[in-house]
Amino acid sequence: GVVEQNGEGDLPCLHTPIDCHSAGGMDQTICRRASQIRLYKQHAKDATGPVFARHVGDRLYRGEYFVLQTDAHMTFTLGWDEGIIQQFKATNNEYAVLSTYPTEVEGSLDAHGQSKRKTTPVMCKTEFLGSGLVRHGSAQEIYPMFGPSPVLHPFWAAGFSFARGHFALRVPYDCCLPMLFQGEEIEVAVRAWTHGYDFYAPRSSVAFHPYNRKSKPHMFWENSNRHRGEAQASAGRAARKIHMASGGGASDRNGDGSGTGSEVDNRLRYGLGTKRSAEDFFQVFGLDIQSKKVTKNLCAWSGSGNMHRELTAHMRPDKRGIDYTAWWEHEGR
């Protein structure tokens, strides 16, 4: 599934040097795989941010066994698909989500399309925003230490996320968060965690991102004048929904106050799960919602591998996620 938000003069996402119907055209990967590609086009001037675009992307899902979400402008290693599937299997966790901020592409690939990097980027830095949501800092590069297994870490990244296909069904992007950017990832992370999913940094990077481009692409916030107040409203809705602001709490599983009809349907579809609570997520990973402070050194905990060792020791017997009840008991809660 491809969501294309192009402006005037931009090349189409499915552009090929040779027309697919011309001589030699079918030798091109896009032409050969055309029947497997689903494309949604929206003009850049109508873009309202990544959440709606990714919501559309989720709606292009058609039951595939695995689902990958990725930013544009990414460069993948040769054989990345087989590699990431093997890494997923190495977690021994049906509810694993391999997700992180990819490493800078410059200097990352050799002449054969293979990664030159020996480290993996772990997400552990975060800070509170005025909305009550959090914004993550750059990933910390560490050396993998658990054989072929990816490394457990606390957060989820929108730019690279690989999981079983049921992730797109159980944690679909909210349809109704226009102009939201900061806070997008924690909104999905808390919802996913309460549905039983666990986040891992890939053991070996299979995709890289060009952070240092000389020519920056246009961004959706260039349309802000047409959407005044929507970013703040969306941040409030997201924060209430995952219990990071007043108006949403343990007694209001899906947050966002009261409502009827389609509003209630949306909250149920895009709300929290029932396997774990949002409050437990905050306690495990040291996010103090009242003081808006991070109370644990997450980089030391995850970067040392101790988070992985301590938590994965309590994998459920059916391999469907970590049993935090067992971990709480072990910790003496």
Question: For residues 39 and 33, what is the distance between their CA atoms, to the nearest angstrom?
Answer: 13
Region 310-333 average pLDDT: 90
Helix (H, G, I), strand (E, B), or coil: what is residue 135? strand
| Pairing status of strand 96-99 against strand 198-201 | parallel
Confidence of residue 168 (pLDDT cuts 50, 70, 90): very high
**Phi-psi region at 256: left, alpha or beta (left = phi > 0; alpha = psi -120 to 50):** left
Confidence of residue 328 (pLDDT cuts 50, 70, 90): confident
Q: What is the pLDDT of residues 104-124, one digit of tens each?
A: 999 999 999 999 999 999 999
Task: Identify the CA nearest to 42 among candidates 32, 29, 52, 28.
Answer: 52
pLDDT at residue 253 in the model? 47
DSSP secondary-structure letter at 270?
A: T
Residue carrying the six token digits 């007043």? 246
Mean pLDDT of all residues belonging to the chain: 92
Helix, strand, coil percentages for the chain (3-state, nearest 5):
30, 15, 55
Q: What is the pLDDT of residues 214-251, one digit of tens each?
A: 877 788 978 888 999 999 999 999 999 999 986 455 54
pTM over 0.75: yes
pLDDT at residue 215 in the model? 79
Region 247-271 average pLDDT: 57
Helix (H, G, I), strand (E, B), or coil: what is residue 298? helix
Question: For residues 95 and 117, what is the distance between their CA atoms, to the nearest angstrom?
Answer: 27
Region 82-95 average pLDDT: 98
* Long-range pairs of 219-223 with CB within 8 A, sequence gap ≥ 24: 220/5, 220/44, 220/47, 220/48, 220/49, 220/50, 220/179, 220/181, 221/49, 221/179, 221/181, 223/45, 223/46, 223/47, 223/48
